[in-house]
Amino acid sequence: MKSCINKVGLFVFVLALFTSCSEDVSEDYVDLPDLENRLLAGGDTTIFLTSSNAFSTPAANLNGSDLDMHLDGDFQFEAAFVTAPADVNEGIGPIFNNTSCISCHPKDGRAPFPDNLNSLSGFFLRSSIPGQDVNGGPVPAPGFGLQIQNQAIFGYEPEAKFQVNYTTIVETLADGTEITLQKPDYTLIDTYVAAPSNILLSPRLAPPVFGLGLLEAIPESEILMYQDVDDIDQDGISGKANYVFDVVSGTTQIGRFGWKANTATILEQCAGAYLHDMGITNSLFSQETGFGQTNGSDGLADDPELTEEILNQVVFYCQTLAVPAPRDIEDDSVRRGAQLFEDLQCASCHVPSMTTSSNTISAISNQTIYAYSDMLLHDMGEGLADNRPDYLANGSEWKTRPLWGIGLTQVVNGHTDFLHDGRAKNITEAILWHGGEAENAKSMFKDLTTDQREDLLNFVNSL
């Protein structure tokens, strides 16, 4: 890399009153990223796979009985549900979004943004009306609840169809490259009854499900260390934990899962998915979907439709999928990119490392992990805002996404549709959508030279 006398250098210089803007940036690599240490991204669960199975492999260190449980869960994660009565996997609906976990989380990875929003896909809209329920959560939209199901079994109506319109935004990078972003605006059409005029909608696309047990095992205190709600250190980045109602304990807990950290545990996330995404009643959620049409029961008296055993297997499965190791850590460009990732403040939210505490699952106990997330909410600006609060997350706050494995998305899932609704079609677009607390990071990114930009992208893609 050249001198400090380019725009990034200047930014780095301003930022770095505490470090020093060395003449030759490569000197910094000496202290920097111990990329060798980061090779075990998921601690001892890490696998070294670069194939399409990179997200769907059991943790490398599972013991025999845990592996059995994982494999049982694997089978159930793939099970497609059908209309009752049937011999197996009965009870889909009355209304639902898709028929199996795997159909939304393909290869345990990320759903593509669907060509047809109303085909079976990994995309749906959450819904609510303004205000907070007794637990501080979103208020269900009358007749529609907290999620819009756009599919129904015979005899029932989908709640609505989804529709999207785009506005074009052009971003120009320092080297003259023009990037065209499409800003989506989602609405409901063909609703089964009139939707409340003040309905709030939040688009969500299914994220990958590997490494989640590790994220669940990070001590709350470690996450809170990164909170800086009033931005005391004045770096423009605050970061705030979400606190959400946990159905199992009946208490408020730190949120970890979902695009707004809107769920506390993998158990509740999975049980919620069975009910809301597929219409499968279970021990946590016993009322059928389509409350406006069913009054909570489909009249079959077969609830819960899912056994507790299967629920536990699927939860265990999501807790024990291996994290793939980064690649190309010896590559000079990747190493320069790792430095830029720090210099551009990416690492202030995408915090490289965390540790897990001891856990009933020994494979995920006491591991140093490299997920690249602080697990906190950040205001990401108007561009990404859904304007729908979710517990403490306001309409423009989102949880920092873990970046581990992101470079394998194309290999595993055959697409690179990033961010909460898949609007970004590659990493560059994902970064250009950053705003709010990440506005500085984004403008520094835009000011990079062509080579530097390639270095940064190479680093992100090495994860």
In the complex, which residues of this chain contact Ca ion (CB under 5 A)? 91, 228, 231, 233, 235, 237, 279, 298, 300, 302
Could you tell me the two tokens for 334? 């990747």
Among 60, 188, 244, 314, binds ligand HEC (CB under 6 A): 314
Residue number with CB closer to ligand HEC (64 or 228): 228
- 94 forms part of the interface with ligand HEC (CB under 6 A): no
Give the Cα separation of 259 and 463 in Å (integer).
Answer: 20
Residue number with CB closer to Ca ion (228 or 454): 228
DSSP string, 78-98: TPPPBPSS-SSSB---SEES-
Q: How far is the CB of 203 from ligand HEC (least distance, A)?
A: 9
> Which residues, in sequence order, are CB contacts of 136 under 8 Å at separation 6+?
243, 244, 245, 252, 391, 392
User: Per-residue x/- mask for ligand HEC, residues 235 to 254, rule CB under 6 A?
Assistant: --x-----------------
Q: How far is the CB of 374 from ligand HEC (least distance, A)?
A: 8
Partner whose footprint covers residue 265, from ligand HEC, Ca ion, none (CB < 5 to 8 Å by kind): none
Q: How far is the CB of 347 from Ca ion (least distance, A)?
A: 13
- The CB-side HSE value for 209 (13 A sphere, CA atoms) comes to 31
Size of site (CB under 6 A) for ligand HEC = 54
Q: Which of residues 97-126 bind ligand HEC (CB under 6 A)?
A: 97-98, 101, 104-105, 122, 124
H-helix or E-strand spanning residue 459: helix 450-462
Could you tell me the two tokens for 67? 């592996």
Q: What are phi and psi of 214, to 5 degrees?
A: -65, -45
- 363 forms part of the interface with ligand HEC (CB under 6 A): no
Largest CA-CA distance found in the chain, in angstroms, rounded: 74
Partner whose footprint covers residue 204, from ligand HEC, Ca ion, none (CB < 5 to 8 Å by kind): ligand HEC
Amino acid, single-letter form, for residue 108: D
For the CA atoms of 30, 33, 35, 37, the dihedral, rounded to the nearest 10 degrees, stands at 100
Q: How far is the CB of 390 from ligand HEC (least distance, A)?
A: 8
- The CB-side HSE value for 441 (13 A sphere, CA atoms) comes to 27
Among 35, 270, 364, 393, binds ligand HEC (CB under 6 A): 270
175 in Cβ contact with 450 (< 8 Å): yes
Partner whose footprint covers residue 458, from Ca ion, ligand HEC, none (CB < 5 to 8 Å by kind): none
Among 12, 188, 430, 463, binds ligand HEC (CB under 6 A): 430
Give the Cα separation of 341 and 336 in Å (integer).
Answer: 9
Residue number with CB closer to Ca ion (34 or 231): 231
Residue number with CB closer to ligand HEC (209 or 264): 209
450 in Cβ contact with 333 (< 8 Å): no
- 60 forms part of the interface with ligand HEC (CB under 6 A): no
Burial annotation 217-254 (CB, 10 A radius, 16+ → b, else e): bbeeeebeebebeeeeeeeebbbbbbbbbbbeeeebbb
Residue number with CB closer to ligand HEC (209 or 322): 209
Residues at the contact surface with ligand HEC, assessed by CB under 6 A: 97-98, 101, 104-105, 122, 124, 204-207, 209, 212, 237, 257-259, 262, 266, 269-270, 273-274, 277-278, 314, 318, 344-346, 348-350, 378, 380, 384, 398-401, 403, 406, 418-420, 427, 430-431, 434, 437-438, 441, 445, 460
